[in-house]
Amino acid sequence: LLAAAGAALGPSDALRAGLAVAVAAGAADLLLRRCVRRFGGVTGDVFGGVAETAATTALVVMSLG
């Protein structure tokens, strides 16, 4: 997938997109682990918060370049 993005956007944009996905997944995982530890499980609100955190993190990483 990154190779296709690199062909369309250029190698630096493809690398930044891959980094954004990795950082967003890490941030979402940290939030999920914290919520499981604090609440003893997950709810729909936790899933929504994790999704919004991942999307916001990815957008921030993409905007930094």
3-state secondary structure the chain: CHHHHHHHHCHHHHHHHHHHHHHHHHHHHHHHHHHHHHHCCCCHHHHHHHHHHHHHHHHHHHHCC
Residues 19-32 have pLDDT tens digits of: 999 999 999 999 99
Q: How much is the pTM?
A: 0.81
pLDDT at position 4, please?
72
Q: Is the pLDDT of residue 5 over 70?
A: no
pLDDT at position 10, please?
75
